[in-house]
Amino acid sequence: MSEPSLSTPEREVVDLCRDLIRIDTSNFGDGSGPGERAAAEYVAEQLAEVGLEPQIFESERGRASTVARIEGEDTSRPALLIHGHTDVVPANADDWTHHPFSGEIADGCVWGRGAVDMKDMDAMTLAVIRERVRSGRKPPRDVVVAFLADEEAGGTHGARYLVDHHPGLFEGVNEAISEVGGFSFTVNENLRLYLVETAQKGMHWMRLTVDGTAGHGSMTNNDNAITELCEAVARVGRHEFPVRVTKTVRSFLDELSDALGVELDPENMEETLSRLNGISKLIGATLRNTAAPTQLGAGYKVNVIPGQATAHIDGRFLPGHEEEFLADIDRLLGPRVRREDVHADKALETEFDGRLVAAMQSSLLAEDPIARAVPYMLSGGTDAKSFDDLGIRGFGFAPLKLPPELDFAGMFHGVDERVPVDGLQFGVRVLDRFLDDC
């Protein structure tokens, strides 16, 4: 028996994803990358080709985002925003099995930087919107699509810029969907959980500075800035913050307990996480505040003790626990270390209810009879933080049915990032059904 023929968006989504991956939009966080202009123009061309009128906005040269609005059946209803980012973190080609900007298809997957973060969702959105506009199938309400710059460095040149300078683009929008949610975790042959992001940790990216006494490297120096800083950084890096079970994490654990048929103890997370396989790291990081040292800097010559040393820390805090987090950090650093934020943003948390959530569940079930949507917290952050300032309630829903053995969490910012071809096609079908019901 032959395989059923693929729909146009199911065919298109793979090529769209490959094309986007081939556009190098590496974001180094210091303005030195190629920017997103080429990707913004590509997206605009794809939308204009079917009759939409996309707009490109540059916050500065090369840092470009594309936005378009699709009219719904009932324009009096609040609109839905679908947003994705087109920038990616850098990749070293020598480390990869397939070149990170080739968009190669191998072993049933599309390979490349951005395959899951998040040019896959960009491609799914483009494929679905293009087909609906071509065929004249209006969504129930207006849909705004935004393909954004700079998410990987905090969104200053993308979502933050549009929210601050062009808020009218999102007039009437009350809900949004975006990345890192809607992906599957196979429990057994009778149940597959799809994790919908309803919360995300806040961030404090920090620069630490210690001043000391400069001098000759051959002499004893009890005021060495490097020594003082490294001891403080080690204290932070080795510190295990206490478990804090938030509302969203409690809901996820309750759903998982029901799915596994066992009682899960949040105070004994080692056993719980051992049951989660490829998503254990993703969930484990949502149980407590975290602070990861990521950069060190000091000195200019081997025989000169520098007068100053610096470090950077990626700090993430749970919703409702920012003050506790900063107090812990300051206690660990001690009085000699100056702390300043490089980038800070709030934590988010919303309820797992309403018509939008019901549409997620029904669209998943229609394509996967053993699907169950469950809420979870993202350990990182997304552009949803910026749109929250406009009163837009955000969810992570980029639907993917994944093979159980795939280390999905390891794909984000990792080597050999890839997305299954049939996962993309599944996502297109779910997203199209979702738009009918939302």
Mean pLDDT of 214-239: 95
Q: Which two tokens stand for residue 425?
A: 């096609």
In 3D space, the residue among 109, 40, 90 whose CA is nearest the CA of residue 68 turns out to be: 40
Say if residues 295 and 309 touch (Cβ distance below 8 Å).
no
Distance CA 153, CA 157 (A): 9
Which residues lie closer than 8 Å to 262 by C-beta, 6 or more apart?
none
Q: Where in the chain is the domain with CATH 3.30.70.360?
A: 200-345
Q: Where are the beta strands (DSSP E) in 321-432?
A: 338-345, 348-349, 371-378, 393-396, 418-420
Read off the pLDDT of residues 17-59 as tens digits, 9 standing for 90 and up.
Answer: 999 999 999 999 988 999 999 999 999 999 999 999 999 999 9
pLDDT value of residue 1: 35
Say if residues 47 and 129 touch (Cβ distance below 8 Å).
yes
Q: Where in the chain is the domain with CATH 3.40.630.10?
A: 8-180+377-437
Q: Helix 119-135 to helix 421-437 angle, to the nearest 10 degrees?
A: 50
pLDDT value of residue 2: 38
Say if residues 291 and 326 touch (Cβ distance below 8 Å).
no
Asked whether the predicted pLDDT for residue 178 surpasses 80, the reply is yes
Distance CA 75, CA 436 (A): 15
Mean pLDDT of 419-424: 96
Q: Where are the beta strands (DSSP E) in 253-370?
A: 290-298, 304-305, 308-317, 338-345, 348-349
Say if residues 123 and 13 touch (Cβ distance below 8 Å).
yes
Confidence label for 4 from pLDDT (cuts 50, 70 and 90): low
Q: Which helix (H) or strand (E) holds 106?
A: strand 105-106
Residue 328: phi and psi, rounded to 5, are -65, -45
Mean pLDDT of 358-369: 97
Confidence label for 6 from pLDDT (cuts 50, 70 and 90): confident
Which residues lie closer than 8 Å to 364 by C-beta, 6 or more apart?
182, 194, 371, 373, 399, 430
Mean pLDDT of 336-361: 96
HSE at residue 324, side-chain half, CA atoms within 13 A, is: 13
Q: Which residue type is seen at 315?
A: G
Distance CA 280, CA 61 (A): 40
By 3-state DSSP, what share of the chain in percent is helix, strand and coil, each rounded to 5?
A: 35, 25, 40
Asked whether the predicted pLDDT for residue 94 surpasses 80, the reply is yes
Read off the pLDDT of residues 262-319 as tens digits, 9 standing for 90 and up.
Answer: 777 666 767 666 666 666 777 778 889 999 999 999 999 999 999 999 999 999 999 9
Asked whether the predicted pLDDT for residue 258 surpasses 70, the reply is yes
Distance CA 253, CA 304 (A): 53
- Mean pLDDT across the chain: 93
CATH topology of domain 8-180+377-437: Aminopeptidase (3.40.630)
Distance CA 33, CA 291 (A): 26
Say if residues 109 and 172 touch (Cβ distance below 8 Å).
no
Beta partners for 188? 191
Residue 298: phi and psi, rounded to 5, are -175, 150
pLDDT value of residue 37: 98
- Domain made up of 200-345: CATH architecture: 2-Layer Sandwich (3.30)
Q: Helix 8-22 to helix 119-135 angle, to the nearest 10 degrees?
A: 140
* β-pairing verdict for 393-396 and 105-106: unpaired
Read off the pLDDT of residues 128-171 as tens digits, 9 standing for 90 and up.
Answer: 999 999 999 999 999 999 999 999 998 999 999 999 999 999 99
Q: Where are the beta strands (DSSP E) in 61-103?
A: 63-70, 79-85
Residue 335: phi and psi, rounded to 5, are -70, -20
Report residue 387 CA to chain centroid gap: 14
CA-to-CA separations, 379 to 176, 318, 409, 412, in angstroms, rounded: 19, 9, 11, 12
Read off the pLDDT of residues 59-86 as tens digits, 9 standing for 90 and up.
Answer: 999 999 999 999 999 999 999 999 999 9
